[in-house]
Amino acid sequence: AQKITQTQPGMFVQEKEAVTLDCTYDTSDQSYGLFWYKQPSSGEMIFLIYQGSYDEQNATEGRYSLNFQKARKSANLVISASQLGDSAMYFCAMRDREGSSASKIIFGSGTRLSIRP
């Protein structure tokens, strides 16, 4: 069955430091996609980065990169040079088919990141 696990409910990081948010997943599918979303205090959901299961390179988007370790079923988000505006909830998500003809997306429980000035 699909499952996403985020084991860090909350993290505090000093401004300008790098931070890694953990995400592990479980699926029986060979083809799937992994996503990270950011939810600031305003409540909107903002897409950050995507990694496909067959992508050989780790995905990068500006200060965001995804440390994808397929054998370990982990997809950690790395934020380099953190900024005060990075303070938010971060959700890991996975899209797969689980034997169906269509795919659906499930989310982890989230990590609340707080950046200290």
Partner 1 sequence: NAGVTQTPKFQVLKTGQSMTLQCAQDMNHEYMSWYRQDPGMGLRLIHYSVGAGITDQGEVPNGYNVSRSTTEDFPLRLLSAAPSQTSVYFCASSYSRTGFNEKLFFGSGTQLSVL
Residues near partner 1 (CB under 8 A) are 4, 6, 9, 31-33, 35, 43-45, 47, 50, 52-53, 91, 93, 95-97, 100-110
**Among residues 29 and 67, whose Cβ is nearest to partner 1?**
29
The three-class DSSP label of residue 84 is: helix
For 38, residues 6+ apart whose C-beta sits below 8 A from its C-beta are 45, 46, 48, 88, 89, 90, 91
* Minimal distance, residue 100 CB to partner 1, in Å: 8
**Among residues 16 and 104, whose Cβ is nearest to partner 1?**
104
**Among residues 59 and 115, whose Cβ is nearest to partner 1?**
59
Distance CA 35, CA 96 (A): 11
Q: Where are the alpha helices (DSSP H) in the chain?
A: none
**Among residues 10 and 15, whose Cβ is nearest to partner 1?**
10
* Minimal distance, residue 96 CB to partner 1, in Å: 7
The DSSP element (H or E) to which 105 belongs, if any, is strand 104-107
